[in-house]
């Protein structure tokens, strides 16, 4: 069984602190900073065993070396980004597995935001740590990959079970939702979602985790089939789903 603590840091980042309760093994996902993690570990009396990095950006790996020095933890990251993940010990690729006690995390390659981006999926716990590939009501900006690559990556995540809980690395939901409404103002699921999000944020509560089912119903980057969305992005009959996605992503970049 996993317990998950959400540590808000910087302007809108989340570090996740995972604890497998039987083995008492602990991992930090995408530690932008070391001190909030160390403070949480001291408060709980836990020892850090692993860092799980989804990609190389500084607001995801900034705490790596300090945490490794302080705790002796092992750092897991993409083999493709071995040179860009500070302190990496375990280089992983598509289909590899990382064990945190009884919880088995499968590695899925999701290039797009960066070329070496990976996500961590535990089927038994129905949990996905997806970094900056998939956001609540959004997806990552294409800094290194192509729209086609990101679309293919999102197809992998769409194929996960509907009740998979999604833990992404940023609190972007409200801003993403404002854009989503420009494409699907007539989507009742999205309208309800935005009401819930507004209530959560007014009370300074996280809007995460989301689920695959909820994202499929409300996230414009998973809804290239929607007639309203296709009209809003000026898609034509010849456009492939990936091209519809690319048009939506381009509009978001200018929003």
Q: Which residues does the chain have with pLDDT short of 50?
A: none
Domains delineated in the chain: 2-253 (3.60.15.10)
* pLDDT given for residue 219 in this prediction: 98
- Stated as kind and residue range, the H or E segment containing 214 is helix 212-218
Query: If DSSP states are collapsed to H, E and C, what string results for 14-76?
Result: EEEEEEECCCCEEEEECCCCCHHHHHHHHHHCCCCCEEECCCCCHHHHCCHHHHHHHHCCEEE
CA–CA distance, 162 with 58 (Å, rounded to integer): 31
SS3 for 131?
A: strand
Strands 90-92 and 97-100: unpaired
What's the confidence (pLDDT) of residue 205?
95
Q: What is the pLDDT of residue 108?
A: 98
pLDDT at site 36: 97
Binding-site residue positions: 55, 57, 59-60, 113, 132, 170
pLDDT of 237 = 87
> 14-50: per-residue pLDDT in tens?
999 999 999 999 999 999 999 999 999 999 999 999 9
pLDDT for the residue 178: 97
Please identify every residue annotated as catalytic.
55, 57, 59-60, 113, 132, 170
Annotated binding site for Zn(2+): 55, 57, 59-60, 113, 132, 170
Give the DSSP H/E element, type plus range, for residue 195: helix 188-202
pLDDT for the residue 238: 86
When the pLDDT of each residue in the chain is averaged and rounded to a whole number, the result is: 96
């Amino acid at each position: 069984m996993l317990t998950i603590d959400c540590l808000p840091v910087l302007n809108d980042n989340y570090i996740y602190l995972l604890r497998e309760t039987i083995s008492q093994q602990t991992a930090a996902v995408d530690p932008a900073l070391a001190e909030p993690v160390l403070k949480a570990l001291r408060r709980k009396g836990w020892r850090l065993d692993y860092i799980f990095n989804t990609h190389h950006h500084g607001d995801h790996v900034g705490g790596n070396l300090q945490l490794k020095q302080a705790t002796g933890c092992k750092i897991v990251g993409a083999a493709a980004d071995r040179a860009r993940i500070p302190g990496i010990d375990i280089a992983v690729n598509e289909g590899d597995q990382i064990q945190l006690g009884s919880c088995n995390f499968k590695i899925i390659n999701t290039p797009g935001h960066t070329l070496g981006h990976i996500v961590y999926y535990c089927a038994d716990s129905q949990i996905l740590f997806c970094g900056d590939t998939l956001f609540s009501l959004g997806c990552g900006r294409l800094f290194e990959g192509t729209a086609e690559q990101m679309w293919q990556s999102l197809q992998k995540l769409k194929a996960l079970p509907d009740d998979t809980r999604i833990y992404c690395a940023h609190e972007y939901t409200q801003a993403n939702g404002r854009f989503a409404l420009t494409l699907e103002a007539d989507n009742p699921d999205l309208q309800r979602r935005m009401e819930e999000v507004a209530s959560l944020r007014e009370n300074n509560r996280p809007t995460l985790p989301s689920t695959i089912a909820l994202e499929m119903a409300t996230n414009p980057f998973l809804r290239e089939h929607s007639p309203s969305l296709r009209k809003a992005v000026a898609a034509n009959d010849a456009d492939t789903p990936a091209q519809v996605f690319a048009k939506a992503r381009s509009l978001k970049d200018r929003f």
